[in-house]
Structure 1
Amino acid sequence: MRHILLFCTGLAASPALAGVDAALTDHILPGYADFSEAAETLSSAAGDDCTADALKAPWNTAFDAWTEIGDVRMGPSETGALSVVFWPDARGFTPKTLSRLIDGEEEVGTDPAAYADVSIAARGLFALERMLYDPAFSDYAGGSYACTLVRTMAADLANQADSLERDWRETFAEVLRSAGSEGNATYLSEDEALRALYTQALSSLEFTADSRLGRPLGTFERPRPTRAEAALSERSLRNVLLYSDAAAALARTLADRDMPETDAALERLHDVADNFSDPGFQDIEDPSARLLVEIVQQHVRSLSQAIEQELGVPLGLTAGFNSQDGD
């Protein structure tokens, strides 16, 4: 994903911190709390029944909760998110690592505390997706090593969610709120904190357009349906919509005004999504299906542009792209 470079002029101090506080109070902190609760529910469900069919519903609920804050990659989440959502996995490390653990019945797969040291390819939501939805892994029986491994993975995810929620609530939220204060070496001015959060909304939409949609699109001559995010669970389109919803919601908390263009752009995105027959993008080789994905991609970019016009411009924020950075 290309990095977004932001330049700021003329921001007033009070509106900046007001927007930051609203983003934390109304969006980010509740989002992490919801994810922590959903991950704990998933872990508890796995303790009762760790078979694949029993865990699909709570796993989807946990993924839904993650999309609220999953693209806010700053502070504790800058590195902490990597082991929650290891994607894209271009070299297939996740199935390889899981196969090694299962074939060798490695002891680390029975210990949630020790599992924190396992490769991130075998941790988090996508590793669990592989265990729950991939026929090569999901037919395990209750009481098997694979079933115990899933229980361990779910407990590890709950531990990660709890750690992220606590770090945001107890530490990093205050770093953002105290931007510009003496001793704050992370954000030297109030507008820097606002700018950082604004960047998260635009970066999320850029990643959705370029990777969540761009990767499976590939080229017209060579589409790549297997590269769709969460294709196994057929929630590729759902993720696009939920991450877009979250980016718009974050932008709204930063603004002190209505954002009708943003709301209209988001509504158009959802309207187009209603026309899909394959939410996992596996029919993308069909020209009509491909066209729908391309239209969704255009609407995601239009949503980003609306946020720039309704939030960035009034706040004196201008987004530009570093042409030397690629996907």
Structure 2
Amino acid sequence: MRLALAFSLIALPAVAGVDEAVNDVILPDLATFTTTAEQLDVAAQANCSPDALKGPYNAAFDAWVAVSDVRLGPLEQGALSIAFWPDKRGFTEKTLTRLISDQDDIIDTPEGFAEVSIAARGMFALERMLYDPDFNAYATGSYACDLVRALTRDLRRQAIAIEAGWRDTFADLLLSPGAPGNATYLDRSEAQRAIYTQILNALEFTADSRLGRPLGEVTRPRPTRAEAWRAGRSLDNVLIATEQAVTLARALADWEIPETEAALARVQEAARDIEDPSFQSIGDDLTKRLKLEILQQEIDGVSNAIEAEVGTRYGITPGFNASDGD
């Protein structure tokens, strides 16, 4: 990501906002993701058919998006095997095709499936199996049915592990910066800026990737590069990610953030104007493309508002990232 932060920090009360962000937002949302992943797996073991699983799948995906952009600790380490996207070279399709063609028994045990390529695990592999006509015509008892059950079982296992990693270890590192043995966060300002950075990175990823990738160029839109377009949830992911970034910003600040709230309202209003939640029609009509560009601009507005109302108050300012080559 192009975003990096050069921080100059002022003295602050003990871990202001971090406790709220961790205990009131991140940990409860991780628990929701675990619960929905468990419910999806229970449903799959009972009935592997796409029609039976689309509801619990989307509930789990909603919960995943709410935590997916907090790339800290166990989430940083485990995110790719839950959501391998963008898949620029089509590895998910290739790996799923190979597994099914070879009837590979690596899917038979959780330990074996954990060794499968991350391209054929998690949300986007499941999206293919449930929504792609090239994959979703399988019968109960088939290898593909067993593969779906292996996918949901693996997702459940990963959700449980990530939540446990946060609850048992990583949350304490954020909540006790500078404590003996805590070499991850040496003082309260480091914990604050760690969460603040995730907020802005999430908004940047949403604008640049979730919207920027399908927008492509005016003369060459790339709608099939939209996130989860087969499941028709590209717009949902944009909204959930943006709303969650604002939720974290509210928690990190212990004051009102009216500019940010107004910017979020503009995002929600712009989203209501978009008729195709999968973004697949943006190449057919420049008006539809314009609506997506407006949404992208409004998300940038949320980021700017958070910088002004939260970052400035904490003495955190955006800085140059040498990796950009700018």
Shorter chain as normaliser: what TM range? over 0.9
Find the residue that maps to 2:24 and give its secondary structure.
helix
2:255 is matched with 257
Whether 2:84 is the aligned partner of 1:86: answer yes
Q: Number of aligned pairs?
A: 324
Letter in 2 for 1:282: Q
Letter in 1 for 2:264: L
Contact 1:113 1:156 in 2 (8 A): no
Find the residue that maps to 1:6 and give its secondary structure.
strand
Contact 1:11 1:316 in 2 (8 A): no
Shift of residue 215, structure 1, vs aligned partner: 0.5
Whether 2:130 is the aligned partner of 1:132: answer yes
2:61 is matched with 63
- TM-score after normalising by structure 1: 0.97
Find the residue that maps to 1:117 and give its secondary structure.
coil
1:241 is matched with 239
Query: How big is the alpha-carbon RMSD for the aligned residues of Structure 1 and Structure 2?
Result: 1.1
Q: Distance in 2 between matches of 1:321 and 1:216?
A: 27
Q: Distance in 2 between matches of 1:119 and 1:305?
A: 38
Contact 1:251 1:307 in 2 (8 A): yes
2:17 is matched with 19
Within-5 A mapping of 1:29-44: 29-44=27-42
Within-5 A mapping of 1:201-240: 201-240=199-238
Shift of residue 114, structure 1, vs aligned partner: 1.5
The 1:321–1:48 alpha-carbon spacing in structure 2 relative to 1, beyond 3 Å, is farther
2:197 is matched with 199
Q: Distance in 1 between matches of 2:293 and 2:180?
A: 48
Superposed CA deviations along residues 273-327 of structure 1, whole A, max 9, x for unmatched, are: 111111111111120111011000000000001111110011111112426338x
Contact 1:204 1:244 in 2 (8 A): yes
Q: Distance in 1 between matches of 2:248 and 2:229?
A: 26
> Unaligned 5+ residue runs, structure 2?
none
Shift of residue 6, structure 1, vs aligned partner: 3.3
Percent identical across equivalent pairs? 56
Whether 2:282 is the aligned partner of 1:290: answer no
Contact 2:107 2:147 in 1 (8 A): yes
Q: Distance in 1 between matches of 2:75 and 2:11?
A: 26
Q: Distance in 2 between matches of 1:320 and 1:41?
A: 43
Within-5 A mapping of 1:138-177: 138-177=136-175
Q: Distance in 2 between matches of 1:276 and 1:160?
A: 34
Q: Distance in 2 between matches of 1:227 and 1:320?
A: 30
Letter in 2 for 1:227: R
Shift of residue 182, structure 1, vs aligned partner: 2.8
Q: Distance in 2 between matches of 1:174 and 1:100?
A: 42
- TM-score after normalising by structure 2: 0.97
Q: Distance in 2 between matches of 1:112 and 1:174?
A: 29
1:189 is matched with 187
Contact 2:16 2:192 in 1 (8 A): no
Find the residue that maps to 1:113 and give its secondary structure.
helix
Q: Distance in 1 between matches of 2:8 and 2:195?
A: 13
Moved over 6 A (4+): none
Contact 2:16 2:253 in 1 (8 A): no
Letter in 2 for 1:243: A
Contact 2:129 2:148 in 1 (8 A): yes
Find the residue that maps to 1:313 and give its secondary structure.
helix
Letter in 1 for 2:10: G
Find the residue that maps to 2:5 and give its secondary structure.
strand
The 1:61–1:173 alpha-carbon spacing in structure 2 relative to 1, beyond 3 Å, is same
Contact 2:3 2:204 in 1 (8 A): no
Whether 2:10 is the aligned partner of 1:10: answer yes
Within-5 A mapping of 1:87-102: 87-102=85-100
Whether 2:289 is the aligned partner of 1:301: answer no
Shift of residue 5, structure 1, vs aligned partner: 1.9
Superposed CA deviations along residues 22-47 of structure 1, whole A, max 9, x for unmatched, are: 11111000011100010000000001
Q: Distance in 2 between matches of 1:319 and 1:181?
A: 28
Superposed CA deviations along residues 222-243 of structure 1, whole A, max 9, x for unmatched, are: 1111100011111001100000
Shift of residue 18, structure 1, vs aligned partner: 3.2
Superposed CA deviations along residues 116-147 of structure 1, whole A, max 9, x for unmatched, are: 11100000011100100000001111111100
